[in-house]
Amino acid sequence: MSKYHFNDIEAKWQKYWAENQTFKAENPVLSEVKGKSEKPKYYVLDMFPYPSGAGLHVGHPLGYIASDIYARYKRHQGFNVLHPMGYDSFGLPAEQYAIQTGQHPAETTKVNIEGGVDKNGNEIEGYRKQLDRIGFSFDWSREVRTSNPEYYKWTQWIFIQLFESWYDANLNKARSIEELRGIFSSEGNIHLNAVCDEGITHFTAFEWLDFSEIKKQEILLKYRLTYLAETEVNWCPQLGTVLANDEIINGVSERGGYPVIRKKMKQWSMRITAYAQRLLDGLNELDWPQSLKDSQTNWIGRSKGATVNFPILTFPKGEGTRPGYMTGGNNSRVLLERAKDMRNNSTDAEAILWEYLKSKKLGCKFRRQHLIDDFIADFVCLSNKFVIEVDGKIHGNQKEEDEKRTSILNELGYKVIRFTNEEVIGNLDNVLDTISKSIEQSDIPPLGARGTIPVFTTRPDTIFGVSFMVLAPEHDLVSKITTAEQKEAVENYIEATAKRSERERMADVKTITGVFTGAYAEHPFSGKQIPIWIGDYVLAGYGTGAVMSVPCGDQRDYDFAKHFNLPIPNIFKDADISEEAYSDKENTIITNSDFLNDLNYSEATEKIITALEEKGVGEGKINYRLRDAVFSRQRYWGEPFPIYYKDGMPQIIPTECLPLRLPDVEKYLPTEEGEPPLGRAEKWYWNEKNKEVVSPPLEGSGEDIFPLELNTMPGWAGSSWYFFRYMEDEKRDEVFASKEALNYWKNVDLYIGGSEHATGHLLYSRFWVKFMHDRGFVNVEEPFKKLINQGMILGESAKIKTLLVGLPYNENNVTKIHPIKVKLSFYSKNLLPETTDWFKDENIEKNIIDQILNDIPESFTNIFGENNPIANRLKGEAKSEIISVLKGHLLFKYISIPVDVNMIDGVDKLNIDKFLEWRNANKLALYYYENGNKFFVSREVEKMSKSKYNVVNPDDICEQYGADTLRMYEMFLGPLEQAKPWNTAGITGVHGFLKKLWKLYHSGPDETFFVDENPPSGGQGGLKTLHKTIKKTQEDIENFSFNTSVSSFMIAVNELSAQNCNSREVLEPLAILISPYAPHISEELWQKLGHSESISTAPFPKFEQKFLVESSKEYPISFNGKMRFTMELPLDLSKEEIESAVMAHEKTAQYLEGRTPKKVIIVPGKIVNIVG
């Protein structure tokens, strides 16, 4: 006698697979001996899991089961399958535990994976054991962990390659920095077309060769694919780190949900924008869900339009336009005469200084005795907004005057530096040094922005509709163009907007805010003055951070104009803009627009771009929403950057010194100075000469010792290339993956995981792979050919109803309800109506009220606390008196509270004993049962989470029903991509199926194993069932429709059981069919069938049509499209023969009721429809 002992069977085969390395993938070997690698390759990968300490719930393995079924299927199909698993083990959660507990994150991570004692002191099994129990066919010999130095050595290596690369926009690929140096030395950067920082000055080859090494480094940094830059970042104060855009959900951090604010910091960035177009184009070749491609397309956000440069009219007071150097106020005419006079009668000190300043030795142009507003400044550098004053003897009131003068100049945006005559004459070198240092420190606007405001627009055709401009509050030019009058208002506004968190800003889109800068720009075609405003509806990060506002054509501009009473000129023929902007492109005819009049959208766009380019004030441009990715994290638990700083410039650690190991620190928090945790490391300096990590240098020594980078890499660093690492098995010390391995495995054929990685991991990986391809490190351009998103498995929370009792009272004319503590009552689901409001006692059974009142404590202060008006009033009254007061006033309300789903038996039936054990206090509660002793809970579908007590652990399911049942049931729940609720009660169906399957092979006496070696008796029923199932299973697996193949197995086993089939010819192929889904039972049956090898590579049964050939068909006979009856007819009948057979049928006459059919539709093998 042999029952289906799934626990024993599963343990046996899991052990067998591990000992025999059954699922080890084989790399190509160069020797003569060829193994699995002679077979075609297939690479199945699951998205990299983070080994959380919370353990798995039944939702987690869903994708792994699907990919495992596919991997096993491919092995049956004769492929050499690579199906690896590993851990994305760096990351924030481990570090948060480390901060709380002081344990090293490496330790907690190890425990999470391998088991041990967790942070709460509980013994946990670990991720690996949980996975093993489900019977996955992973090749564990290739496991990787991103936090292992042997692994992150190569993450650091790739970072160095990015650092040593730049993007050639002509060739459209990344090239090495060495080549860029070559170009600079031979032709400078004048003809270079590279993706780089904004505002790079041009230089010749001659100048390049003359630059100091530091200057060269500084320039190269602007071209590198990973670069250091001051950027506006998403700072999360609670997490103490910067977050990338994709790590922020609804304005709060993805992990923890903490607020995020904007902040400027010096950060490593990745120049992913260089790849924007290729990332977009590459999507076309990928077999990915459309919605996922759409998210990436939206995220990259390509838009076509033009940039237009609007000249700034710096001073709006004067009439007309004036050259930019005329900075005088309304009294200019008089003062200019005086200035001329002063120039001719300068002091000695002024004369000496001027000799040096006018020669441009300091690198910028100075003017002397120059008019600024109503002052004559001694020396002015206009481009740097820098004033030098040389003072004579200082009297008391002179000093006061000077201070006033300085403060007004400051308000105008000038930096003022003062020297005495004696200083200039006595120590000129010192004075010049001070000046040049001060100039360096002052903010210089980016080159392209000086003098003009560039804007990006997708509607250059509407340029004549511009009536104002708006800059983002953070825009660099704001402080430089704001007039003295508007300074205060502008500063207040900037301060107010910077304080608002992202979330507030997003929540409050409706409120229109902004302020006028006082400055004007000139319309490049009409020459009209255009007021420049700032407003936070303009985002600093998109386009140029400035817009040309066309209120008649853009709703946001329209709203802004209406709100601030700005003009709304109409440039659309016959468009009504009295209520809202007219944003339609298709039916637009432009008017009031000079040379664009009477043109439509596309004609006008084409013409204006030509005009912009001819006039040199703009050009056609493609803009992307995608930003360069911030790559620094102010965290401990991540890859250290292989970078040290020499003279403030980043230098790379030689690759032979990698890995640069993460140092130990005593605390995982920022230092007192606000440096990242690595600032706490005792040894975190680089000795350039000895090539080693050392302690900080002592005073006066250590010219070879330099500080190492304190930031670490973000979570996506390690996960952007791990799929290549799995390809390598033997040469992991030498290379990230060998050429042979890369050539053989190429890329991932099937990638399964959640859709939450749409714009993070999946975009960054594609970027890195394209980069690695450009530089020749890999030979594919896309990492994942086919991708499937598995849907979430939701929990079915169990809720029980309980009754709340409250007493209404009046406080400041507001009715409040004071809760009254009474014995808790719990009600079975069907006993109560679905109400959520408070109701009066007339709707409640009298005995319940009596019960409640009876339980009310003697003393009212027990219920209400001291000093409560009700309690005070009733103080000292007898209980009976109190009850009579309360009676008729009490309010009641039913609420649902969650109970642990593991206390539910069968369908929604609460196990009261377990419940009592769980909530000790509830022993005193009252329970209201239905039908005698049944107590039911209500159900609600929600996300699985501990707080909702609806988590179902796969270990428990394996224990109770077996891994094969779990695997099949997860698939049976519904389509892989769809979200669906888990219902443990339903698992009995699948479990019953496996028992039935077992029984099918155990039809011998006393249920012993039995197969018949003869061909199936009783006709070909068995073979027909088998081949029908082969066909269906194969189609289903290839379409990833795993739920329907489970159904077809059930049908097959039901049919074969009914046929009493026990023929080897049927049962042996059937075991292979089911093996990808239920591998343990299949291996066991396979062995019983007499095989000594694992079933895992047994060839998949071949479908043969001949077994399905039918000679007749049960035709449905319809009348006017409604099926009335069926009749069996031979399939080889002609249409005419079918028609006459149908017409001869007695029921036909009955349904026709004497009418003559107008038409008879016959589709042979399908249907007959009689019309009439």
Residue in 191, 946, 1102, 1159 binding RNA, rule: CB under 7 A: 1159
Closest approach of Cβ 24 to RNA, in Å?
35
Closest approach of Cβ 134 to RNA, in Å?
20
Q: Which of residues 545-564 bind RNA (CB under 7 A)?
A: 545, 547-548, 550, 554, 556
Amino acid occupying residue 305: G
Closest approach of Cβ 307 to RNA, in Å?
10
Q: Can you tell me whether residue 440 is helix, strand or coil?
A: helix
Closest approach of Cβ 1152 to RNA, in Å?
13
Q: Which of residues 121-160 bind RNA (CB under 7 A)?
A: none
Residue in 374, 1054, 1103, 1127 binding RNA, rule: CB under 7 A: 1054
Q: Which of residues 742-761 bind RNA (CB under 7 A)?
A: 755-756, 758-759
Site string for RNA, 967-996 (x = CB under 7 A): -----xxxx--xxxx-x-xx-xxx-xx-xx
Size of the site for RNA (CB under 7 A): 85
**305 lies in the binding site for RNA (CB under 7 A):** yes
Nearer to RNA, 559 or 740 (CB): 559
Residue in 41, 370, 459, 799 binding RNA, rule: CB under 7 A: 459
Residue in 537, 641, 777, 1001 binding RNA, rule: CB under 7 A: 537
In 332-448, the DSSP E strands lie at 367-373, 375-381, 386-391, 415-420
Name beta bridge partners: 306: 457, 620
H-type helices in 427-483, by residue range?
Answer: 428-441, 478-481
Structure tokens at 1162: 């016959």
Determine the straight-line distance between the first and last CA of the chain, rounded to whole angstroms: 63
Closest approach of Cβ 986 to RNA, in Å?
4
Residue in 31, 170, 212, 290 binding RNA, rule: CB under 7 A: 290
Residue in 214, 622, 897, 1123 binding RNA, rule: CB under 7 A: 1123
User: For tokens 């300085």, what's the residue?
Assistant: 406
CA gap 980, 59 in Å, rounded: 10
Closest approach of Cβ 314 to RNA, in Å?
23
Residue in 146, 457, 605, 747 binding RNA, rule: CB under 7 A: 457
Nearer to RNA, 758 or 856 (CB): 758
The edge-to-edge listing of strands for the beta sheet with 173-176 is 173-176, 165-168, 194-195
Nearer to RNA, 186 or 1126 (CB): 1126
Query: Which one of the spans 180-188, 256-264, 333-341, 1047-1055 is the region binding RNA (CB under 7 A)?
Result: 1047-1055
Note whether 604 and 458 are within 8 A (CB).
no
Closest approach of Cβ 900 to RNA, in Å?
20
Site string for RNA, 891-930 (x = CB under 7 A): ---------------xx-----------------------
Question: Pairing state of beta strands 375-381 and 386-391?
Answer: antiparallel
Q: Which of residues 497-536 bind RNA (CB under 7 A)?
A: 505-506, 508-509, 536
Closest by alpha carbon to 196, among 278, 301, 280, 274? 274
Closest approach of Cβ 178 to RNA, in Å?
35
Closest approach of Cβ 252 to RNA, in Å?
11
Q: Which of residues 829-858 bind RNA (CB under 7 A)?
A: none
Nearer to RNA, 250 or 587 (CB): 250
**420 lies in the binding site for RNA (CB under 7 A):** no
Within 10 Å of residue 1134's Cβ, how many Cβ atoms?
A: 10
Q: Which of residues 1056-1115 bind RNA (CB under 7 A)?
A: 1114
The verdict on whether omega for the bond into residue 659 sits within 30 degrees of 0, i.e. cis, is yes
Nearer to RNA, 118 or 536 (CB): 536
CA gap 252, 248 in Å, rounded: 5
Q: Can you tell me whether residue 721 is helix, strand or coil?
A: coil
Residue 68 C-beta-side C-alpha neighbours within 13 Å? 27
**652 lies in the binding site for RNA (CB under 7 A):** no
The answer for residues whose C-beta is within 8 angstroms of residue 622's C-beta and 6 or more apart is: 277, 302, 303, 304, 305
- DSSP state string for 805-846: EEEEEEETTEEEEEE-----EEE-GGGS----S-EEGGGS-H
Closest approach of Cβ 943 to RNA, in Å?
8
DSSP-derived letter for residue 758 is: T
Nearer to RNA, 689 or 1158 (CB): 1158
Residue 202 Cα distances to 311, 851, 1151, angstroms: 22, 90, 91
Q: Which of residues 766-795 bind RNA (CB under 7 A)?
A: none
**622 lies in the binding site for RNA (CB under 7 A):** no
191: left (phi over 0), alpha (psi -120 to 50) or beta: alpha
Q: Which of residues 691-730 bind RNA (CB under 7 A)?
A: none
Q: Which of residues 329-348 bind RNA (CB under 7 A)?
A: none
- DSSP state string for 224-253: BSEEEEEEEEEEETTTTEEE-GGGEETTEE
Residue in 263, 450, 625, 773 binding RNA, rule: CB under 7 A: 625
Nearer to RNA, 543 or 670 (CB): 543
Residue in 15, 667, 840, 1166 binding RNA, rule: CB under 7 A: 1166
Residue 557 sits at φ, ψ, to 5 deg, of -65, -40
The answer for residues whose C-beta is within 8 angstroms of residue 803's C-beta and 6 or more apart is: 824, 825, 827, 848, 892, 893, 894
Within 10 Å of residue 104's Cβ, how many Cβ atoms?
A: 16
Within 10 Å of residue 509's Cβ, how many Cβ atoms?
A: 9
Site string for RNA, 209-248 (x = CB under 7 A): ------------------------------------xx--
Closest approach of Cβ 263 to RNA, in Å?
17
Question: Pairing state of beta strands 41-46 and 80-82?
Answer: parallel
Closest approach of Cβ 898 to RNA, in Å?
19
Closest approach of Cβ 503 to RNA, in Å?
11
Closest approach of Cβ 1162 to RNA, in Å?
9
Residue in 100, 1120, 1134, 1140 binding RNA, rule: CB under 7 A: 1120
**Rg, C-alpha atoms of the chain:** 39
Closest approach of Cβ 971 to RNA, in Å?
11
Containing H/E element for 522?
strand 515-522
Residue in 298, 407, 655, 1014 binding RNA, rule: CB under 7 A: 298
**496 lies in the binding site for RNA (CB under 7 A):** no
Closest approach of Cβ 718 to RNA, in Å?
22
**950 lies in the binding site for RNA (CB under 7 A):** no
**191 lies in the binding site for RNA (CB under 7 A):** no
**965 lies in the binding site for RNA (CB under 7 A):** no
The angle at the Cα of 198, spanning 193 to 202, to the nearest 5 degrees, equals 60
Q: Which of residues 245-264 bind RNA (CB under 7 A)?
A: 245-246, 249-250
CA gap 544, 308 in Å, rounded: 10
CA gap 184, 524 in Å, rounded: 35
Residue in 321, 1044, 1091, 1141 binding RNA, rule: CB under 7 A: 1044
The answer for residues whose C-beta is within 8 angstroms of residue 984's C-beta and 6 or more apart is: 901, 904, 952, 957
Question: Pairing state of beta strands 386-391 and 415-420?
Answer: parallel
Residue in 21, 291, 743, 1014 binding RNA, rule: CB under 7 A: 291
Closest approach of Cβ 796 to RNA, in Å?
9
3-state DSSP percent of the chain in helix, strand and coil, to 5? 40, 20, 40
**1122 lies in the binding site for RNA (CB under 7 A):** yes
CA gap 87, 127 in Å, rounded: 10
